[in-house]
Every structure is written in structure tokens, then in C-alpha cells.
Amino acid sequence: MNNLNLLPALAFALILPGSQSAFATVGNCESDACRHDATITTNVQELLDSDRGLGPPGSIHARSVNGVVYLRGMVDTGREKWTAETIASQAPNVARVVNSIEENN
């Protein structure tokens, strides 16, 4: 009977690693592509954190995968969401921005 209780936990443990989002950390990636994405992420994050109109630093999180920047976080208005996307798209080497920032309502 106890083994039956472990089945859902085991299934979850097997499925979870394959369902990681673009924000998952890739361990010890040494390739040029990974270093390139790390540089893009750092550049975009610094730009977002320096814009006082977007709230305190760290309110919006950026992550780059293959030159695509993924934004997540929380802002007060649609204008702030659009501003964050515009700022991210202007950073060097950004191919595209996926904006998943949510508005406080």
C-alpha cells in the first residue's frame, strides 16, 4: 500500500525536470552561446534595474535564451510593461523579447 502512495511523487519527480521554463538555470554551460546569453541577460537586467520608473531594482527579471529575452515580474501599469519591453529590445544582441510581465490590478 505504501508503494502506491509513492507513485504520484515519482511521476512528478520524473516530469518536473522536463517542464522547466526559460528561467531555469543551466548548470555550467561553457559554450559561446551560453556566454553570449549571459551577457545579454546581464545587459538587459542592468538597463531594467536602472530605470526608476519600473519600480525598485529586481522588480522585473530578464533571462536570455538563444538571444530571445524573457521578461517576468510585476508592474503597476501597462505603460510600465511596455516600457520594460522597449528597454529590453534596445539592448545589444537581443533578437526578440517575450514579455510575461504582469500588471497589479
DSSP per residue over 6-39, as a string?
HHHHHHHHHHGGGG--TTSPPTT--SHHHHHHHH
Q: Has this prediction a pTM greater than 0.85?
A: no
**What separation in angstroms does the CA of 64 have from each of 14, 16, 34?**
26, 21, 9
pLDDT beyond 80 at 9: no
Q: Which is higher by pLDDT, 4 or 82?
A: 82
Q: Which residues contact 62 (CB under 8 A, 6 or more apart)?
A: 41, 44, 45, 48, 69, 70, 71, 88
Q: What is the pLDDT averaged over residues 8-24?
A: 45
pLDDT beyond 60 at 8: no
The confidence score (pLDDT) of residue 2 equals 53
| pLDDT tens sequence across 29-76 | 667 778 999 999 999 999 999 999 998 999 999 999 999 999 999 999
The confidence score (pLDDT) of residue 97 equals 98
Mean pLDDT for the chain? 82
Cell readout for 105 is 490590478
The confidence score (pLDDT) of residue 70 equals 98
All structural domains of the chain: 22-103 (3.30.1340)
